[in-house]
Amino acid sequence: MNPIVMAVLLILGWGLFAYSAWRRWKLMMVGVAEDRFDRVGARLGAVWTYAIKQLRMRRYPLAGYAHMIIFFGFLVLLLRSLMLWGRGFDESFSFWIFGTEQILGRIYSLLKDVFAVLVFLGALVFVYYRMIARLPRMTLSTEGLIIIWIIVVMMVADVLYDGAFIARDAHASAIPGVALAPVMTGPVDPDAFDTKETGYVVEPDSPLKRSRISFTWYEPAGSVVAMMVQGLSDGALNCVRHVGFWTHVALVLIFLNLLPYSKHFHVITAIPNVYTQNLKPPGRLPPIEDIEGRLEREETLGIKRIDQFSWKSILDFYTCTECGRCSDHCPATSTGKKLSPKHFTLDLRDFLYKHDKALVAAKALGGGDSCEGDPPEHYKDLVDGVIDPEVLWACTSCRACEQECPVLISYVDKIVDMRRYLVQERGEFPNELQTAFRCLEASFNPWGFPAEERAKWAEGLNVQTLADHPDAEVILWVGCAPAYDDRAKKVTRATAQLMQKAGVDFAILGTEEQCTGDVARRAGNEYLFQMFAQQNVETLNRYGADTKKIVTTCPHCYNMLQHEYGDFGGHYHVIHHTTFLADLLAKGRLEPTKRVDKKVTFHDSCYLGRYNDIYEAPREALESIPGLTLVEPAESRDRGMCCGAGGAQMFKEEEPGDQRVNAARTQQLLNTNPDAIASACPFCMRMLTDGLADKGREDLPQLDVAEILLESVEAGQPTEAHT
């Protein structure tokens, strides 16, 4: 071909890319340091599952499999691109072992042709989504179309190059007495041959030029194209060959240089992003260390500026594919709120890119804002300046966005960190939360009920406290709603009765129990949360809770005790009551006998399901009941929609939108035409009960799993839920 042109293209292409990649690296490093390189085995396993096998891509089958084909096609065709770059210098270059005269080369040639066609078809799927279907969840940008068409043209150019090459070789071999022209040496010129010696004059349209072309198994796409172009003259074939060659070579380098400036940057960053994911329990929030000390030093609590995100958060921003799967399943987005997880990420990324030079320069000078008066543009408050506070307060912390993201971007931790800044630095939060915070401080529960009434739910059940029975094997952690809310009390009583029937040795903390602080923490009041965490850990450790089992009916309490109290010295074996009851049923310690002839649909709590992967236990408990038929809504398990109460939403007014989240979720459950709706969370129970009332369906029972099970175990005795 042309070594000089190839050398110039490679130097320019890779040089520009190296500069762009270096800029993005420097920008990422303005973020706060964070260790994400421990547990190498687990990280490599995640890369295999989510980056190589692309497990989550399959949740949208057509788009998912099309993307997987393109991904694996690029892995296969990478070697092809390297070979073509080499052929710019040595026309026969095939890495010495991948020539088609060798079996390994033929196998690779077959793979290359197959994937070239598959990638072409896969790219057309995304052309359809962007130009015809125009899916609302996707960012329908010109850049996205350019990238897709580059992929399409690259595949076409590749098979055209092969086809013209095969046809040219056939032309040469069709001339008697003439040796086959060396690979890549240009067209055969019939006028150059001594026709007196050979006795042949080859005309341009001679069938001799087509006689040697046949389909070969190791070049299927190239063979088909060769048959299509075999009637062209040698000059035309040579032109097609060169166009295919240089088009492929140039487009690969153009594609490479577009990546750092487009959503397709994830082609490079996705695997590192998956590798450096948070391996802590899903949704676990990191504590703010030494709050009082940071207040004294006037250090920011939470996220105020873009450079206060960690480098891993910035890598998240880089890696967003703009596919919109996160927003597609966000309960706030789907009910018309301002929050869109995709746009939340993109707004922060765009602000970061806009101020990249200033941020990198400031980092080089030691970081921080040393200017008096108004801060420079790159250091301005993200809240209001980039992100509307209404966006932050609309989040229910359900993690549906994180469950859907194919490249494992986190959202909830970033939103809560920005809430922390609003609450603890600016003192700005919804008015209703002020009431909840005051009640927590005064009465140790967000409703403000008297602390001394915390154990009144157990009257008449002969439930012991740990103060009276410190050797109890199991601690029943009640929680605030199950202790005070009249409807939730019935769930607590049903759970206690089932435990008594099974002969479980348990006790409660009674008035020594306080709120776990979930509401305060998710609302951004980290200082108040830590106060509760430290006090509860001290109480539990005093009773040796680390050697006992803790059972709770509230998924929020479960999550806090199991995953977030460890940062404060509380390491416990916590069991949700549905798991505990399912285990008692499996061991025969509970035996449902009465038929419950109902069609029941089950609502998955976010903090039970997506946070803790507990999906089967409540269903196993329900399915053990004679006569009960379990029906699943379309939005079930990890695709289940939030009830709308998480993330402190239970204690504030919902942001404006087209409809309330609980109303949307209730309708999804009603679509199964059930006789009853089952749940396993007091917050969910309240939201679904209100949703049923709004729809005029107060006739439909909304019951906890424990209540339905108790009805069957008691063999006909009505539970309090029905009386």
CA distances 414 to 32, 280, 285, 673, Å, are 13, 16, 10, 38
- For residue 197, pLDDT over 90 is answered with no
- For residue 417, pLDDT over 50 is answered with yes
Q: Is 562 exposed, middle or buried (0-12, 13-18, 19+ CB in 10 A)?
A: buried
373 confidence band (pLDDT: 50, 70, 90)? low
- For residue 212, pLDDT over 70 is answered with no
723 confidence band (pLDDT: 50, 70, 90)? very low
* Cα 359 to Cα 27: distance, rounded to the nearest angstrom: 7
| Residue range 669-694: mean pLDDT, rounded | 97
Contact 646, 672 (CB under 8 A): no
- For residue 183, pLDDT over 80 is answered with no
The pLDDT tens digits for 287-310 are: 998 787 776 677 889 999 999 999
Contact 657, 336 (CB under 8 A): yes
- For residue 256, pLDDT over 70 is answered with yes
Task: Give percent of the chain with pLDDT exceeding 70.
Answer: 92
Return the bridge partners of 17, or none: none
CATH 1.10.1060: does it fit domain 276-428? yes
First-residue to last-residue Cα distance in the chain = 88
HSE-up of 326 (CA within 13 Å, CB side)?
A: 27
What pLDDT score was predicted for residue 231?
85
The pLDDT tens digits for 45-66 are: 999 999 999 999 999 999 999 9
What pLDDT score was predicted for residue 180?
38
596 confidence band (pLDDT: 50, 70, 90)? very high
What pLDDT score was predicted for residue 139?
80
* Cα 505 to Cα 494: distance, rounded to the nearest angstrom: 16
Least confident window among 33-37, 367-371, 650-654: 367-371
> Alpha-carbon torsion 174, 177, 183, 184, what sign?
negative
Specify the long-range contacts of residues 693-697, CB closer than 8 Å, at least 24 apart: 694/660, 694/663, 694/666, 695/663, 695/666, 695/667, 695/670, 697/670
- For residue 198, pLDDT over 70 is answered with no
172 confidence band (pLDDT: 50, 70, 90)? low
- For residue 84, pLDDT over 90 is answered with yes
* 3-class DSSP assignment, residue 346: helix
- For residue 648, pLDDT over 70 is answered with yes
* 3-class DSSP assignment, residue 280: coil
- For residue 407, pLDDT over 90 is answered with yes
Residues 578-611 as b/e (b if ≥16 CB within 10 A, e otherwise) read: bbbbbbbbeeeebebeeebebebbbbbbbbbbbb
What pLDDT score was predicted for residue 548?
97
Least confident window among 99-103, 322-326, 562-566: 99-103
597 confidence band (pLDDT: 50, 70, 90)? very high
One-letter amino acid at 501 equals: K
233 confidence band (pLDDT: 50, 70, 90)? confident
| Residue range 685-693: mean pLDDT, rounded | 97
For the chain, the structural domain boundaries read: 3-18+45-274, 276-428, 432-722
Ramachandran angles phi, psi of 666, nearest 5°? -60, -40
Closest CA to 415 of 316, 286, 303: 303
What pLDDT score was predicted for residue 356?
96
Parallel, antiparallel, or unpaired for β 599-602 and 702-704? unpaired
* 3-class DSSP assignment, residue 267: helix
What pLDDT score was predicted for residue 210?
45
HSE-up of 574 (CA within 13 Å, CB side)?
A: 25
Return the bridge partners of 576, or none: 552
What pLDDT score was predicted for residue 215?
85
- For residue 312, pLDDT over 80 is answered with yes
- For residue 652, pLDDT over 80 is answered with yes
Contact 480, 536 (CB under 8 A): no
| Residue range 475-496: mean pLDDT, rounded | 97
- For residue 353, pLDDT over 80 is answered with yes
| Residue range 268-295: mean pLDDT, rounded | 90
Name the token pair of 177. 């007495």
What pLDDT score was predicted for residue 234?
85
* Residues contacting 105, CB < 8 A, separation 6+: 94, 97, 98, 99
The pLDDT tens digits for 150-165 are: 999 999 999 999 999 8
- For residue 174, pLDDT over 70 is answered with no
Name the token pair of 327. 């927003």
* Residues contacting 532, CB < 8 A, separation 6+: 440, 444, 514, 515, 516, 517, 520
Contact 344, 303 (CB under 8 A): no
E strands, 250-328, where? none
What pLDDT score was predicted for residue 441?
96
Contact 433, 510 (CB under 8 A): no
One-letter amino acid at 535 equals: Q
Q: What is the 3-state secondary structure (H, E, C) of 119-183?
A: HHHHHHHHHHHHHHHCCCCCCCCHHHHHHHHHHHHHHHHHHHHHHHHHHHHHHHHCCCCCCCCCC
Residue 563 CA, chain-centre distance (Å), reads 20
Least confident window among 57-71, 165-179, 423-437: 165-179
* Cα 477 to Cα 522: distance, rounded to the nearest angstrom: 20
What pLDDT score was predicted for residue 366?
82
* 3-class DSSP assignment, residue 487: helix
* Cα 671 to Cα 45: distance, rounded to the nearest angstrom: 39
DSSP calls for 364-418: HTTSS---SSSPPGGGS-HHHHTB-HHHHHT-----HHHHH-TT----HHHHHHH
- For residue 516, pLDDT over 90 is answered with yes
188 confidence band (pLDDT: 50, 70, 90)? very low
* Cα 716 to Cα 713: distance, rounded to the nearest angstrom: 8
Task: Give percent of the chain with pLDDT exceeding 90.
Answer: 82
What pLDDT score was predicted for residue 211?
45
* Cα 336 to Cα 509: distance, rounded to the nearest angstrom: 42
Least confident window among 98-102, 269-273, 633-637, 703-707: 98-102
How high is the mean pLDDT of the chain? Answer: 91
| Residue range 208-222: mean pLDDT, rounded | 74
673 confidence band (pLDDT: 50, 70, 90)? very high
* Cα 64 to Cα 54: distance, rounded to the nearest angstrom: 8
| Residue range 440-466: mean pLDDT, rounded | 96
Closest CA to 226 of 159, 175, 173, 157: 159
Name the token pair of 402. 């994180």
- For residue 199, pLDDT over 70 is answered with no
- For residue 720, pLDDT over 50 is answered with no
What pLDDT score was predicted for residue 716?
43
